[in-house]
Amino acid sequence: MSEPSRYIAESAIFGDTNLVDWTITPAMRTVAANAKSVEDARNLLEMLGLIEPRATAPVEATVACKRHCAKCDRPGRHSSESLQKWPGTVAIVGRGMCRACYTAVLDEERQTRDAVA
Ligand SMILES: [Zn+2]
């Protein structure tokens, strides 16, 4: 077991948020090392009481968007608008669908057409 992990195992009890100061940094490092994503790390650190919970915390992070893909229902934006302006959205490129769905539909139609011909 690596050094920080050993300290944490020795000193931390699940649910104990009153960690001794010198265990906090190693604990945060361990969380960071084991987290699968930034969100994961943040959630773990919040759970451990090592960081302040975010004030603005709508549990379901709603993506601001004007429309959704007609097929997969992912939040969408007009194809001329930038991803920076509409983070977390997909561009709606054809028949109200995102590129992945639209391409799939076109492929299906092409196959159907070729099968007939
Ligand atoms: Zn889609």
Asked if the structure places residue 17 within a domain, the reply is yes
- Do 71 and 41 fall within a single domain? no
Calculate mean pLDDT across residues 2-12.
62
Q: Is the pLDDT of residue 98 over 70?
A: yes
Q: What's the gap in Å between 88 CA and the centre of ligand 1?
A: 13
Asked if the structure places residue 57 within a domain, the reply is no
Q: Domains in the chain: how many in total?
A: 2
Asked if the structure places residue 60 within a domain, the reply is no
Burial class (CB in 10 A: 0-12, 13-18, 19+), 91: middle
Q: Is the pLDDT of residue 12 over 60?
A: no
Q: What's the gap in Å between 58 CA and the centre of ligand 1?
A: 25
pLDDT at 116: 76
Asked if the structure places residue 32 within a domain, the reply is yes
Give strand pairing partners of 30: none
pLDDT at 105: 97
Q: What's the gap in Å between 51 CA and the centre of ligand 1?
A: 37
Asked if the structure places residue 58 within a domain, the reply is no
Percent of the chain with pLDDT over 90: 32
- Do 36 and 74 fall within a single domain? no
Q: Is the pLDDT of residue 117 over 80?
A: no
pLDDT at 2: 57
pLDDT at 74: 93
pLDDT digits (tens, 9 = 90+) for 31-71: 888 888 888 888 888 887 778 777 665 555 677 777 999 99
Q: What's the gap in Å between 85 CA and the centre of ligand 1?
A: 19
Report the mean per-residue pLDDT for the chain: 81
Q: Is the pLDDT of residue 97 over 80?
A: yes
Asked if the structure places residue 96 within a domain, the reply is yes
Domain of 27, in residue numbers: 3-47
Asked if the structure places residue 29 within a domain, the reply is yes
Asked if the structure places residue 53 within a domain, the reply is no
